[in-house]
Structure 1
Amino acid sequence: MGVSFLSTIPPLLPLVPVPSLTTTTTNRYPSYAVTVRCNKMEIDATAEDEDRFCRRDILKCAGVTIGMELMASSGLFVEKASAADLIQRRQRSEFLSSVKETLYTAINGNVELLPSLLTLALNDAMTYDKATKSGGANGSIRFSSELSRPENKGLSAALNLLEEAKKEIDSFSKGGPISYADLIQYAAQGVLKSTFLTSAIRKCGGNVEKGRLLYTAYGSNGQWGLFDKQFGRADTQEPDPEGRVPRWENSNVKEMKDKFVAIGFGPRQLAVMSAFLGPDQAATEALLATDPDVSPWVQKYQRSRETVSETDYEVDLITTLTKLSSLGQQINYEAYTYPVQRVDLSKLKL
């Protein structure tokens, strides 16, 4: 008969160096009392096996002892850090859900502004310059001096709509006002979701309930995860330089291609972003189809939009918008979080 070697842990504890128990670091970390329980374990072993058993369990004992000491010294810190992180994630998630709900209501009450909201998001991001790492999706288009430029003609109504939505959002935000940079890009997301849903309803003969079920089953909600994580864009405090965004309605395909290449995109991304390039998507795609590099992608997405799932079109569009809406940004992943008031349990009356 033998005894589980865990029963020898207390006598062996002094053999393991534990600096935190003998130095000033004991003031920095809490100590914990650890009770070790052991049970007898019956085995049949030869002398050689018994020797092997003891050596093995000595190593296990040392590992367990060190592990318990590490847990005792750092467990509270890890616990607090994890709890704080979870709280911030929940705060951001709840706030983002409220933002989306507010934008959804605003967007669906002004469907005539859907194309302008897409172009607003595109033009705000298209000011990005790779050489200087300046510009991008930073809310600069909100400044009147930039909004009044020829390439932004007709976008003021869309911005006015978002400014009204911003007032409502800021009124219930506990973590500070939402940035224009976030607001503009999430409005574009809302437009796309609304467009995808409308397409699903059309494919169901106009039946709204069936269309919603179709979009839930085959739609793109699951593809928005990375986009939603990019929540925390910072606003610039001045307009971006002029001359970085073309007038899409007056541009030929080569000029459009050159601009997309300048920010790291190609014909594929140009084709999938056709709805962002003006109020008439069909006319824009007809123009893009005249270019041999862009035409295959235009045709691909046109075919995809007529399928039940629209997978190719929706996935590529979401991926492109996610990359576009992050240009020039360092996302603050703690944005819109706020301290939680602690409850003094000693004052609770039972």
Structure 2
Amino acid sequence: MGVSFLSTCSSLLSLVAHDPPSITTYQPRSVPICCNTIKIDVSGESQVHLRRRDILKSSGVAIGLELIGNSGSLVGNANAADLIQRKQRSEFQSKIKGTLYTAIKGNPDVIPSLLKLAINDAFTYDKATKSGGPNGSIRFSSEISRPENQGLSTALNLVEEAKKEIDSYSKAGPISYADLIHYAAQSAVKATFLASAIRKCGGNEEKGNQLYNAYGSSGQWGLFDRQFGRADAQEPDPEGRVPVWEKASVQEMKDKFSAVGFGPRQLAVLSAFLGPDQIATETLLATDPDVAPWVQNYQRSRETVSQTNYEVDLITTFTKLSTLGQQINYEAYTYAPPKIDITKLKL
């Protein structure tokens, strides 16, 4: 049997407005003017014989250039504001990950539950009604106490404690449970991959870190990080949408995965988190001809140094799972930059 995902949890590393044109007084002098190849000499107060359409054309060019100049200024301001927001969100994400990493490092046994918490929160999604999904509804007592969520209270408690710390340093309001639950799952996945690299290096954290940085798939999380700004549900999602995974048949699991837009490949890659015993779950899934090839593929991948196939597919699946039916607010957690009082600047 191949290497188990959960067997890697034993060791973790310390996770513009334009200025008005200046006014200049011109003295009359002889100047050649060209409009539509008609060359006319203008001297002092002498009569000018310019065709009206030529003057209008010249004026139109000048106005057009002025409009282009102004629009360029507005675009520049918009781009600058967008860059500020991106920087704010990136810095906030980094602090969130640091908080979660510290919490998970102190509670490595909670990693499987954090991943299942995110899965069960997301699997309430219903394509027909466009309702449910990764909206943080699992935080409600009536939902976390359902049979399919048995044993996940410890993971939810870790999320709630992390939320208190994160909200204390957030400059743009509290973080949503919807975002935090899925960032906790991301941190759990990364911590487990890193632990696997350390284990493969005989427990040497420095070498394990180097191995993961050289061969790991951390960069694959880029798309996940951009899906940041989920809104929280205000009530529990309907019952009966998430099966009790360890009691479900292979066909029932396949049907549920199909209902949210997933197939045998995603079922196999998430198999470690669908029950308390990964080996038993994979053994069951290996009896199905559609799922078996993917189970075997990921078992082989986990035995390699890089685990590339397994890591990339798991990250991709979690990224899609974390956005099912959600409208992402790309301005969430951004705030107006502080204003500078120029009267207090020392020159």
TM-score (norm 1): 0.81
In 1, Cα distance between the equivalents of 2:193 and 2:64? Answer: 53
Shift of 1:149: 0.6
Q: 1:326 aligns with which of 323, 327, 330?
A: 323
Q: 1:260 aligns with which of 257, 260, 276?
A: 257
Q: 1:30 aligns with which of 18, 28, 32?
A: 18
Distance 1:68 1:179, change over 3 A: same
Q: Deviations over 1:231-253 (max 9, x none)?
A: 10000000000000000011111
Contact (CA 8 Å) 2:246, 2:276: kept in 1 or not?
no
Q: 1:103 aligns with which of 100, 103, 107?
A: 100
In 2, Cα distance between the equivalents of 1:92 and 1:317? Answer: 24
Q: 1:198 aligns with which of 195, 198, 201?
A: 195
Higher relative CO (Cα under 8 Å, sequence separation at least 6) belongs to: 2
One-letter amino acid of the counterpart of residue 329, structure 2: N
Q: After the TM superposition, which of the residue ranges 290-299 and 270-279 deviates more from structure 2?
A: 270-279
Q: Deviations over 1:178-197 (max 9, x none)?
A: 00000100111011001111
Q: After the TM superposition, which of the residue ranges 276-285 and 130-139 deviates more from structure 2?
A: 276-285
Gaps of 5+ in 1: 1-27, 35-50, 52-60
Q: In the alignment, which residue of structure 2 is the partner of 1:282?
A: 279
Q: In the alignment, which residue of structure 1 is the partner of 2:302?
A: 305
Work out the number of aligned pairs and report it: 298
Matching of residues 44-193 of structure 1 within 5 Å: 68-193=65-190
Name the SS for the 1:327 alignment partner.
Answer: coil
In 1, Cα distance between the equivalents of 2:214 and 2:245? Answer: 35
Shift of 1:72: 2.5
Distance 1:65 1:281, change over 3 A: farther
Q: In the alignment, which residue of structure 2 is the partner of 1:6?
A: none
Give the structure with the larger helix fraction.
1
In 2, Cα distance between the equivalents of 1:258 and 1:72? Answer: 57
Are 2:211 and 1:214 equivalent residues in the alignment? yes
In 1, Cα distance between the equivalents of 2:296 and 2:21? Answer: 70
One-letter amino acid of the counterpart of residue 289, structure 2: P
Contact (CA 8 Å) 1:117, 1:158: kept in 2 or not?
yes
Contact (CA 8 Å) 1:126, 1:244: kept in 2 or not?
yes
Q: After the TM superposition, which of the residue ranges 337-346 and 167-176 deviates more from structure 2?
A: 337-346
In 1, Cα distance between the equivalents of 2:138 and 2:286? Answer: 30
Shift of 1:286: 1.3
In 2, Cα distance between the equivalents of 1:71 and 1:177? Answer: 41
Shift of 1:76: 2.6
Q: Deviations over 1:156-209 (max 9, x none)?
A: 111011100100000000011000000100111011001111111111122111
Shift of 1:306: 1.0
Contact (CA 8 Å) 1:31, 1:73: kept in 2 or not?
no
One-letter amino acid of the counterpart of residue 229, structure 1: R
In 1, Cα distance between the equivalents of 2:205 and 2:321? Answer: 32
Q: After the TM superposition, which of the residue ranges 188-197 and 275-284 deviates more from structure 2?
A: 275-284
One-letter amino acid of the counterpart of residue 18, structure 2: P
Percent of aligned pairs with the same residue?
Answer: 74
Shift of 1:66: 6.9
Calculate the aligned-residue CA RMSD, in Å: 2.0
Distance 1:347 1:246, change over 3 A: same
Contact (CA 8 Å) 1:32, 1:72: kept in 2 or not?
no
Are 2:330 and 1:342 equivalent residues in the alignment? no
Name the SS for the 1:72 alignment partner.
Answer: helix
Contact (CA 8 Å) 1:31, 1:72: kept in 2 or not?
no
Gaps of 5+ in 2: 1-15, 23-36, 38-57
